[in-house]
Chain A
Amino acid sequence: MSVRRKGPRATIVRIVTYLCLVSVAVIVVFPFVVAFATSTKNSQDIFNYPPTLIPKEPQTIDPTEVALPDVDADADEPLPLYAFPDSDTQFALVDNDVSVAEFRPLDDVDRIIRLDVTSGEKTGEVVIIDGAEEDIFAIEVDGTTVEAYRSRLTSGGQFVSLDDPTDVRVELVNVVEPLQQFGPRLENFEEVLIEKDFGRSLTNTVLVTIAVVSGQILTSILGGYAFARIKFKGSGPLFLLYLGSVMVPFVVLIIPLFQLMLQVGWLDNLSALIIPFMFSAYGTFLMRQFFISIPIEIEEAALLDNASRWKILWRIMVPLARPATATLATFGFLYAWNSFFWPLVIINSGNPDGRVLSLALSTLGGRSSTDLNLVFAGAMVAMAPPILVFLFAQRYFVENSASSGLK
């Protein structure tokens, strides 16, 4: 609008405009970023709050690398690292199943001090806590001796400081903050493709999409050419019927089509996802519009040479109609790849071999799903191809969407 304007005010307007556009773009892109980030997280990381966009994994250390006291840790396993709030050094969890005693100082019974079960000496005295007799222990805390009673015995972890091997602490593992580092888990994709049967769903979707798209292109080219160039009785009313059919929502056809598939025995079969969708009134319309726009003289010359309609169509018209075919192919691809309602109705026996991606995704990502990382890996597998196709073929999308709005 105000392209030609100059001056500081126009510059500010432009900056504000770009800021608005960018913020909308952020709103659009952000969920995809979240999806991608989540798809590379591990199964603990997905439940962390606040949510982050960076996949993290526990930081570990090889037990042979650092001088550690000889503890009964399995020397082959990497040791996870933790941080204590009162210390700058990192601690390795050398044993996550040691007996821990919880002491409560008598002068401050709400405070909990966790020590190794062997520490502390009985003073011989007792104290009454909540009506029960408890022995009093003398324990050492930060260099001073404190009187406390033992409130509970539990199991926790034994931590050793990396800088000072004598600094050995005992604490409940879930109380200490685990150290984390950047660690994408790309095995999610492998797991979802193989263990969750997404690979099979993916190939089914590929098969269905290829069959539907090629079928639609073939029938639409033939039908579109007939409507565009061949005069025959009833072609006008038939074409109107085709146009009208675009207005009928698919929900009206669901039940009778389901009955039809039931009767011919195609329930739970990929045929039911392919064969009814190889015919497209929309595609026929699209091809007809394109063929009509091709000058008739091109064809007349060939007709005079006694070429058959069939030859003319494939030798002359179809090569010219490449843009329209590409548009049809991209739209057909999107439709077939993303369709969900019809597969949901038809592939209903829970047999994973007949599933397409959208169906597998909705089953895996159901309401009670806990493998969010796997679900999102599956979602990426399902969403990436249409997005990529769109990015490469967007010329055909955008032009056609535009022309449908103008008619």
Chain B
Amino acid sequence: MAADAADKADAGVDRPDAPDTALGRKLKLLSLWHLVGAAVSVMGILLARRSGDIELPWMPRYALQGFFSFAFVAHMASAYGVGARTRWARPLSLAVNYLLTLVAASATLHLFNAYQALGDFGEGLYKAFLPFVVICVGLLWVLLSGQMLAHRPTAVGPLRLRQAGWGLAGIASVWFVVKADPSGLISSIGETLTRPLALGAIALTFCAALATRLMWSRAAAKHFGSTRRVDEALSGLAFLSPNLLGFFIFFAFPLLFSLWVSFFDWDTTNTTRDFIGLENYIRALSLDFANSAQSNAGTEVLKSDYQVLANLDWFGQHWVVGARDVEFWLSLKNITVFLVLAVPLAVLPALVLSSVLASKLPGMKVFRTIYFVPSVAGVIGVSIVWGQMFDATIGWINYILDLLGISEAGQGRGWLTQPDTALLSMVIVFAWMSFGFNTVLYLAGHQAISKELYEAAEIDGANTWQIFRRITVPQLRNTTFYVVITTSILALQLFDIVWILARPIAGGPNFATQTPVLTLYQEAFTNNRQGYASALAWVLFVIIFSFTLFQFRRQRSEVSAGGVS
């Protein structure tokens, strides 16, 4: 938007070498601006180091120090570059001013308590939910009449409808504001406006935005001899920038930070932070095997600090397996069992059902829709529903088994309270939730199978089973592979279902449903061992990533072999 306006303003300038006095003056101001910026940055560094009367948490403190140091260097370079009219001055100055605008704007929002106010906005929305719904209806109306207008641009009816929609939304907006009662918000804004720091932040945002606009203008581009390639690159980065910043702040930085934390003994409140190298990983993965003559041998035969994970009898010898983190190893065992049971149960029905749904019989779309519903309904609600289905005394599963004569009335099984069925119950819930999605994935695979294969098989007199076995399954090989891998990755991160369904506590009974993500959550947020939990996260990441990599390599080899996947 800013660029557009600037374009228009400077459209008349087409002699790059002639000194444009207005631009020249502006650029001198810009140089000065950068010099001031550099000076302020030095002060910023000093302030952030001293951390003044406001004790900042360490992360913003370091971030501010880094930011100001960087800002100092960049400002100095920009000031020189703008003055000397070098080619790189424009991109650099643009970057500096743009980032400064964003940081200053975020700081302004912070000073105006905008982030906390989001919560209050939730409250306002609660108070004024009815007007909100009316606004939504009005906008929907506008959207629909817009669609109608697109078909018949001259029709009067839809036009009126659209106006009515806007009117409705407008009236409801006023109603919304009245109901939501923003007086608290307004008074708090007014109060903040009197604080010099807030005013300074607004001024800084404004100035930085002006400087960005100046440098973005076509006149400035000509002045600095910008090429089309650089212009393209700048606009590309500008378009990408919101996304890119989010990517770095909320993905790339946390990813690296989590690796860093995993080498520390680090608690939630940051009171302990000791570098311990690989100790977290060693603790998580340590196993000890001890051969014992007695079948009831326990911790005493293991190294100190190890607890019994399992007692095994191999070839007439008794082994005690110990681990330092028994819960984590148990969770790995559980998730392996879960994977082995849940993945076939979520994939095989999908394979069979998709083969039926792919036929052009009437009503197939309805079934496809029905099967898909569990995967969109939300795992918490679904788990709660299944919790009642599995209930020992009033649950439907036991009642149906009772009706079928499999179990006796009142003698029903406590599906979720017995260790041998708890995980199995969760397998069922998981498979129930995910098979419909997999069916749809398979349906896409079916579209890629050439119809001639089926026709040829029918001419040869193959029966349904033969067609399924010899044509459908082999042709869907790649889809199957994809489906199995994605389902496995989902299954490896099992958490929500366990959180709701496990009894009496998450992971119970007796660690039968302890999963790796649950262990991680408990370590990080119950035991406050964030360093150790990060190490667990990376172990899990490596496991999950190996699945992904497996799929990736296979896809690549398929492509290089000329196969269509």
Which residues of A does B touch, CB under 8 Å?
1-4, 13-14, 17-18, 20-21, 24-25, 27-32, 34-35, 38, 46-51, 199-200, 202-204, 206-207, 218-220, 222-223, 225-227, 230-233, 235, 238, 241-242, 245, 247-260, 262-266, 269-271, 274-279, 281, 284, 308-311, 313, 334, 337-338, 340-341, 344-345, 348, 353-354, 358, 361-362, 365, 367, 372, 375-376, 379-380, 382-383, 386-387, 389-391, 394, 397-398, 401-406
Contacts and interface: CB of A to CB of B under 8 A. Distances in A.
Interface in B355-374: 355-361, 363, 367-374
A28 B376 CA distance: 12
Contacts of B499: 340, 344, 362
Which of A18, A233, A256 has most chain B Cβ within 10 Å?
Answer: A256
A354 B358 CA distance: 45
A148 B562 CA distance: 96
Interface stretch (B152-160, B188-196, B306-314, B387-395): B387-395
Interface in B444-489: 444-445, 447-448, 454, 458, 464, 467-468, 472, 479, 482-483, 489
29 contacts: A25-B371, A28-B432, A49-B393, A51-B396, A199-B129, A203-B129, A218-B242, A230-B232, A230-B239, A247-B548, A252-B538, A263-B58, A269-B115, A269-B118, A270-B118, A271-B116, A278-B246, A281-B251, A308-B4, A311-B4, A340-B380, A358-B378, A365-B384, A365-B387, A375-B384, A383-B378, A402-B447, A405-B442, A405-B445
A202 B132 CA distance: 13
Contacts of B118: 207, 269-271, 274
Contacts of B458: 2, 4
A401 B540 contact: no
A284 to B, nearest CB: 6
Interface in B203-246: 232-237, 239-240, 242-244, 246
Given A238-B244, A379-B385, A29 B377 contact: no
B254 A31 contact: no
Given A230-B235, A248-B255, A386-B377, A362 B389 contact: no
B436 interface: yes
Contacts of A340: 379-380, 496, 499
Contacts of B534: 255-256
Given A1-B464, A362-B500, A394-B369, A256 B255 contact: yes
A222 B138 CA distance: 28
Given A252-B255, A308-B3, A361 B376 contact: no
Contact of B126 (A199, A235, A361): A199
Given A235-B236, A269-B118, A353 B123 contact: yes
The residue in A31, A47, A262 that gathers the most chain B C-beta atoms within 10 A of its C-beta is A31
B280 interface: no
Interface stretch (B43-51, B76-84, B517-525): B517-525
A398 B239 contact: no
A32 B377 contact: yes
B373 A38 contact: no
A34 B388 contact: yes
Interface of B: 1, 3-4, 7, 57-60, 115-116, 118-119, 121-123, 125-126, 129, 132, 232-237, 239-240, 242-244, 246-247, 249-255, 257-258, 261, 268, 270, 349, 353, 355-361, 363, 367-374, 376-382, 384-389, 393-396, 399, 402, 432, 436-437, 440-445, 447-448, 454, 458, 464, 467-468, 472, 479, 482-483, 489, 492-493, 495-496, 499-500, 503-505, 517, 520-521, 524-525, 530, 533-534, 537-538, 540-541, 544-545, 548, 565
Given A49-B393, A207-B121, A403-B444, A14 B370 contact: no
A386 B525 CA distance: 30
Contacts of B246: 219, 276, 278-279
Given A222-B240, A222-B242, A379-B384, 20 more contacts: A28-B370, A28-B373, A200-B123, A200-B126, A203-B126, A223-B244, A226-B240, A230-B233, A245-B252, A247-B545, A248-B251, A253-B255, A256-B254, A258-B525, A263-B60, A269-B115, A309-B235, A358-B378, A376-B384, A398-B440
Given A249-B493, A251-B537, A308-B3, A24 B353 contact: yes
Nearest to B445: A405
A252 B258 contact: yes
Contacts of A308: 3-4, 7
Given A248-B541, A271-B115, A402 B443 contact: yes
Contact of A345 (B358, B361, B489, B525): B525
B353 A32 contact: no
A242 B247 contact: yes
A294 to B, nearest CB: 16
Count chain B CB atoms within 10 A of each CB in A21, A380, A389 and give the residue with the most: A21
B377 A383 contact: yes
A239 to B, nearest CB: 10
B122 A207 contact: yes
B432 A27 contact: yes
Contacts of A367: 503-505
A48 B122 contact: no
A342 B126 CA distance: 22
A265 B250 CA distance: 15
A381 B238 CA distance: 41
A398 B129 CA distance: 31
B388 A372 contact: yes
Contacts of B4: 308, 310-311
A402 B444 contact: yes
Max count, chain A CB within 10 A of own CB: residue among B357, B396, B492, B538: B396
Contact of A2 (B126, B373, B464): B464
Contacts of B254: 253, 256-257, 260
A28 B3 contact: no
Contacts of B517: 251, 341
Contact of A279 (B242, B382, B524): B242
B122 A405 contact: no
Nearest to B489: A249
B255 A337 contact: no
Contacts of B255: 248, 252-253, 256
**Top 5 A-B pairs ranked by shortest CB distance?**
A279-B246, A402-B444, A223-B243, A230-B236, A232-B233
Contacts of A222: 239-240, 242-243
A325 to B, nearest CB: 13
A390 B373 contact: yes
Contact of B257 (A1, A238, A259, A391): A259
Contacts of A2: 359, 458, 464
A82 B188 CA distance: 62
Given A271-B115, A406-B444, A263 B394 contact: no
Contacts of A25: 367, 370-371
A34 B389 contact: yes
Given A278-B246, A338-B379, A405-B441, A269 B385 contact: no
Nearest to A218: B242
Contact of B236 (A49, A226, A255, A275): A226
A301 B237 CA distance: 23
B515 to A, nearest CB: 11
A390 B372 contact: yes
A379 B381 contact: yes
Contacts of A277: 250
Contacts of A223: 239-240, 242-244
B243 A220 contact: yes
B331 to A, nearest CB: 13
Contacts of B122: 200, 203-204, 207, 270, 353-354
A397 B371 CA distance: 13
Contact of A51 (B258, B361, B387, B395): B395
B385 A35 contact: yes
Nearest to B127: A203
Contact of B524 (A17, A254, A284): A254
A237 to B, nearest CB: 13
Contacts of B7: 308
